[in-house]
Amino acid sequence: MNALSEQILSELRHLLIEMRDGGSVGPSVYDTARALQFHGNVTGRQDAYAWLIAQQQADGGWGSADFPLFRHAPTWAALLTLQRADPLPGAADAVQAATRFLERQPDPYAHSVPEDAPIGAELILPQLCGEAASLLGGVGFPRHPALLPLRQACLVKLGAVATLPSGHPLLHSWEAWGTSPTTACPDDDGSIGISPAATAAWRAHAVTHGSTPQVGRTDAYLQAASRATRSGIEGVVPNVWPINVFEPCWSLYTLHLAGLFAHPAFADAVRVIVAQLDARMGVRGLGPALHFAADADDTSVALCVLRLAGRDPPVDALRDFEIGELFVTFPGERNASVSTNIHALHALRLLGKPAAGTSYYVEANRNPHGLWDNEKWHVSWLYPTAHAVAALAQGKPQWRDERALAALLQAQRDDGGWGAGRASSFEETAYALFALHVMDGSEEPTGRRRIAQAVAHALEWMLARHVSHALPQTSLWIGKELYCPTRVVRVAELAGLWLALRWGRRVLAEGAGAAP
């Protein structure tokens, strides 16, 4: 076990050191399909088309059957792209299967818009639906009527603006509304809104309109984004890139949840990341990438990380996102995010600032079991639950929540893991362990024994599945579809396993119920 612990620490240190390349993000069906559609040259991207076809599920759709709300955008996009690639092997069959899939699907936007709708759904889905209707005639597809007024209102606002500033949030979905390259300009990385789909669309329009001086920069961006997927296939791209603020911030925050933030094995790597964050943090906060708009979520986690590292960051960076006693992720967003407010609460408490209203909001947004599942950036309830427990317990050594603890223990699967879908996942099991780690500190001996038994069961499950330097595959983060920020997830997996290993050793040494 000691050898495994050292191996885990070594891999974590390597991951932190790697975080200088813009970030690692798994491949996206939606963005790859859109990029192929705008690229136009089928023969030059045959491997990427083959990859796209291979991702189709047995029921004809793309994306996880466990989370149907997030399957429409990738399935529409893949269908429309493959419909133009009929000569390629498997394309025609994939189109037929996708058509049948969409005809059978209930429309989640028939009457209202779900709270956890994917990013840009109001712009993207009506546009894809309209394109499919013109190409494929009278097929009985979902029409998403509840999104139409939202799209129209957004287009009216966009019509009043000649050019959006670089990094504006709406540029992330430019492919769904942009027609003239003059409405946007590539950022310093060559991207339109840190989106491969938006960038590929802008590039295609720029070439058509003869506006080619910036095309070389967008080509370089798309090639770099493709490399970030680690798929090895040119033209296969991620859902978002770069993530050179989000990736290190969430990774260090995760180390804190596991009790690893100050571990000497990471001192040098943490020092470098913290220095970069400190230099970049201004009064307007930070966004997921250096050249993207600031938001309350990334700003809050960055504030947490800086404070944990002993810095004194400016809490005023959060004030632009404060509406009453709540925090919006981006100004003008449709609905507030529970996890953004959880992170704001954690930052405020770490900085010693009043946060009664935010605390009330976080407490009020539980489900009937006492857990947190109303989340717009991650599909699993285990993510906001782990972070909420840490935020609520911050600065309160005797904090206890028997209802949440009972529900968390009850949710453990027979195999020892946790998961919001049909199977346990390593990432979600790690989140459960982070929450239990906090709860264990103020529990009575009986409660601690129950927690120790759950951790021992989870450790067995994790040990049976751990592979050194494995690449996470499960997509649980909400973008335009579900996606996987690979290093962020891998840090969570390894930190959870390390925590369980250390926990188990102490339980053996102390008899029962001990915490790390």
349 and 465 co-located in one domain: yes
Identify whether residues 289 and 224 lie together within a single domain.
no
Maximum CA extent, the chain = 74
Last residue of a domain, one of 229, 251, 266: 229
Nearest residue to 246 via CA among 43, 489, 53, 28: 489
Calpha distance 319→347 (Å, rounded): 12
**What pLDDT was estimated at residue 397?**
85
Q: Could you tell me if residue 122 is inside a domain?
A: yes
How far apart (Å, rounded) are the C-alpha atoms in residues 455 and 432?
A: 9
DSSP letter at 70 equals G
Q: Does any domain span residue 57?
A: yes
> The tokens 């335009």 sit on which residue?
480
pLDDT at 15: 98
Which three-class secondary structure state does DSSP give residue 95?
A: helix
Identify whether 242 is preceded by a cis peptide bond (ω within 30 of 0).
yes
Contacts of residue 290, Cβ cutoff 8 Å, sequence gap at least 6: 188, 242, 244, 245, 280
CA atoms of 353 and 347, how far apart (whole Å): 9
Residue finishing a domain among 179, 203, 229: 229
- Together in a domain, 433 and 477: yes
Q: List the CATH number of the domain containing 206.
A: 1.50.10.160
Say whether both 275 and 145 belong to one domain.
no
Residue 438 lies in a domain: yes
The predicted structure's pLDDT at residue 1? 66
Q: What is the CATH number of the domain that holds 319?
A: 1.50.10.20
pLDDT score at 511: 62
* Three-state DSSP class for residue 186: coil
Residue 9 inside a domain? The answer is no
For residues 198 and 249, membership in a common domain is answered with no
Q: Is the domain of 299 the same as that of 441?
A: yes
Domains identified in the chain, total number: 2
Does residue 89 share a domain with residue 128? Answer: yes
Residues 6+ apart with CB under 8 A from 481: 28, 29, 30, 63, 70, 71, 73, 74, 118, 239, 475
291/410 same-domain check: yes
pLDDT of residue 513: 46
Q: Are residues 49 and 158 located together in one domain of the fold?
A: yes
Residues 508 and 409 in one domain: yes
Domain assignment present for residue 235? The answer is: no
Its pTM stands at 0.96
The whole-number pLDDT of residue 122 equals 96
Same domain (yes/no): 175, 316: no
Helix axes 29-39, 72-83, angle to 10 degrees: 30
Residue 14 lies in a domain: no
Query: Does any domain span residue 6?
Result: no
Q: Does residue 7 form part of some domain?
A: no
The CA–CA distances, whole Å, from 338 to 90, 208, 250, 363, 496 equal 42, 42, 16, 10, 23
Which of 183, 199, 229 is the endpoint of a domain?
Answer: 229
Write out the residue range of the structural domain in which residue 140 sits: 29-229
Same domain for 163 and 56: yes
Over the chain (516 residues), what is each successive 10-residue block's mean pLDDT? 92 97 97 94 89 98 97 96 90 95 93 94 95 77 91 93 92 96 94 98 91 88 98 97 98 98 97 96 93 97 98 92 91 87 97 94 95 94 98 92 96 98 97 97 90 96 97 96 98 98 79 51
